[in-house]
Structure 1
């Protein structure tokens, strides 16, 4: 059985791989806009940014392979296309966004340097960590994560003990569903299938533990990391809600986070916030580039430099996109998330449930249905290019941009009943 120390180090590593740019800047503004419905928003946010990602880690504990194993029951070709799409999105959006957030919060207030220079320095450091693959989990779990958690706890608890529990009127029409959709922007469900593979490879590099021991270690670490994420997210959302009287209504995500930090940490706020942002963003970028490199190395075992070349390409892409501002990257990311996130959630859930309810027929039916009914939500997120809202009104929950949910549930039930009928004949 894995010891407590290994479980804590692994859970800390998971926390740091999950907790990046979006996880830090999204919850406070969500709370700020939610008023006394902050708790309902927090529950919605936790559904897509905590529960689903941790279920993804449990699926990795069960499979102990790569992201490719998540979709094999649909078809090998689908699984390969899905895997490549996930890594392409991860390297193009959440990874560069970490550099953009770091520049805007941790670099720009102190140095009059360009975003391009920040991206070059940032991803050069990411590359150094990625090529030191065997030491990755210890560095994350033992050193970087405790620092991140300590600063977060300081900000949250100082706010809770110094502010009055007065909330403004909510600006959110659908608190629970808005919380779920904002959780998409953390990329954590996608992160689960990416960084879960990183954790599995890291454990394999460090030990010769049995399949059962690794499953127990990853499962326990996953739940502990999930609990930590839920506490931190709820604290940040509540902190944002309590600060409603203190800031202008049109404040940006980064301005609010910076303002809250100054109120909580005083004159040293910029230094603490810079350390927090830099570490939180950096660990996520390292996890994404490492996961992508691990995958390509696994798919191309005959090419000795596959890992190195993928790491170089991932960092170069990060430099190119990371020089754009955060708001622009978030806006560009949304349509891609509206399409790929539902598919990822479904694959995670199907890989967690018992095998008797997740036959290849069920996988095919549910995933294909989810893809079809994700298209309207994707089209609806294209802004000026979106079709008229009335076109998709007949789909349940389409007004909440969750039109895929009931069709996927129906496909799951019908395909399972069909499987039982066919097996009984």
Structure 2
């Protein structure tokens, strides 16, 4: 008899996925975008939702279609290239950047305001405690649904719901005129702002982890696993959309109490204090701590899961090592690491998006092997223009490319390569292999 999950387990799985995606950065970006968009909030928010919710959901679906693993996603690429891509993504989104940042942001926004004489020592102590707790929850992949989906995330969602209701019932100001690019390009600007969440990378990482969690519940059938993964993605996308809409509205109605601050975290803090008074910092601390903790758990789990498949070290040993590294990086040289990681993100993010698109249309490609190589190579090559621009090199030669000034010079060349390889390349047998799942 084919094993299935109960409705409560499916909901918990979706909540767990939602919590993995919702980090502190995701909470900070929308308020500032909402404030700048002002009366153009709706088109700006729509654009933001496309990239901050739509792309991660599509990424989850792509992972499901590929059979739930990196090998399925990259089966048409040379194995060494696929492994190098994965290692770079996991390092940047894991121990080198995103995971340590969760601890640092949790300290700055949720703990430091309660410490009279905050020092490097207090940050060190907090980092050790924070990542020790994250390691505790990440220790057993099989219990992630029970620990995060059934306990931590509901608590996070309740606090976020309280904030959302308060924002809509008692807005702290009126919506004013749009500013900057939001005046004439609200949708496009919101669309580009959504890239800051970097959740397309996260979708590729967490998709593989969620598959392991599902299989840890005794689900062995590929099609059933694929279905549950898509359910989890849909639940997570719904939750993210709910949070982003409320935070956009919070930002749009914040001009009278937080005008010109230029920082989403400050807007959020000021607004919550205005709504709830002295208890506002406690509510904000609960939101940030839970959001950062659940994301840290997901990142440590996903990285440990992948690296354990490449080496002889076990998942638990990798989890311990990653937690220790994250605690150290959160204290030493994080600003330099962030500066170093940005060019890598510029280089790899377009490749990740192109990979997702190729996975979705693979069955219509006459020669998937050729298409994957050409399209990903083009996306990477032209993304290096944006990397060079970030590093202050003169790339004015390419300034005529559409979206060049937005840091997206790779889009048109990649699209052209995709169209060409859709019709050119001869006929190669394109049967779905055992790693892929028909939906």
Decide: shared fold, TM above 0.5. Answer: yes
Give the gaps of 5 or more residues in structure 2.
430-439
1:392 & 1:185 partners in 2: Cα distance? 23
2:386 & 2:38 partners in 1: Cα distance? 27
Decide whether aligned partners of structure 1 residues 181 and 323 sit closer, same or farther in structure 2, where only a CA change above 3 A counts. Answer: farther
Counterpart selection for 2:235 from 200, 211, 224: 224
**1:143 positional shift:** 1.0
**1:89 positional shift:** 0.2
**Counterpart residue number, 2:401:** 395
2:125 & 2:193 partners in 1: Cα distance? 30
Give the gaps of 5 or more residues in structure 1.
none
Decide whether aligned partners of structure 1 residues 44 and 328 sit closer, same or farther in structure 2, where only a CA change above 3 A counts. Answer: farther
Decide whether aligned partners of structure 1 residues 314 and 209 sit closer, same or farther in structure 2, where only a CA change above 3 A counts. Answer: same
2:4 matches 1:4:
no
2:210 & 2:249 partners in 1: Cα distance? 31
Does the CA contact (< 8 Å) of 1:168 and 1:245 recur in 2? no
2:170 matches 1:162:
yes
1:165 & 1:326 partners in 2: Cα distance? 38
2:207 matches 1:196:
yes
- Decide which moves more: 141-150 or 352-361: 352-361
Q: How many residues align?
A: 417
1:36 & 1:10 partners in 2: Cα distance? 37
Decide whether aligned partners of structure 1 residues 364 and 309 sit closer, same or farther in structure 2, where only a CA change above 3 A counts. Answer: same
Does the CA contact (< 8 Å) of 2:261 and 2:267 recur in 1? no
Decide whether aligned partners of structure 1 residues 198 and 407 sit closer, same or farther in structure 2, where only a CA change above 3 A counts. Answer: same
**Counterpart residue number, 2:436:** none
Does the CA contact (< 8 Å) of 1:30 and 1:240 recur in 2? yes
**Counterpart residue number, 1:371:** 380
TM-score, length-scaled by structure 2 = 0.89
Does the CA contact (< 8 Å) of 1:16 and 1:284 recur in 2? yes
- Decide which moves more: 15-24 or 311-320: 311-320
2:428 & 2:203 partners in 1: Cα distance? 34
Decide whether aligned partners of structure 1 residues 332 and 234 sit closer, same or farther in structure 2, where only a CA change above 3 A counts. Answer: farther
Name the SS of the counterpart of 2:401 in structure 1: coil
2:422 matches 1:419:
no
1:331 & 1:230 partners in 2: Cα distance? 30
Decide whether aligned partners of structure 1 residues 328 and 162 sit closer, same or farther in structure 2, where only a CA change above 3 A counts. Answer: farther
Superposed, which structure 2 residues align to 1:72-111 within 5 Å? 72-91=75-94, 92-111=96-115
TM-score, length-scaled by structure 1 = 0.91
Counterpart selection for 2:301 from 290, 300, 310: 290
**1:333 positional shift:** 4.4
Does the CA contact (< 8 Å) of 2:346 and 2:387 recur in 1? yes
Pairwise CA RMSD of aligned residues? Answer: 2.3
Counterpart selection for 1:406 from 407, 412, 430: 412
Does the CA contact (< 8 Å) of 2:48 and 2:190 recur in 1? yes
**1:11 positional shift:** 0.8
**1:67 positional shift:** 2.7
- Decide which moves more: 288-297 or 161-170: 161-170
Superposed, which structure 2 residues align to 1:243-392 within 5 Å? 243-300=254-311, 303=312, 305-323=313-331, 333-357=341-365, 359-382=368-391, 386-388=392-394, 390-392=396-398
Counterpart selection for 1:57 from 55, 60, 65: 60
**Counterpart residue number, 1:28:** 31
Does the CA contact (< 8 Å) of 1:137 and 1:199 recur in 2? no
Does the CA contact (< 8 Å) of 1:136 and 1:202 recur in 2? yes
Name the SS of the counterpart of 2:425 in structure 1: helix
1:417 & 1:293 partners in 2: Cα distance? 40
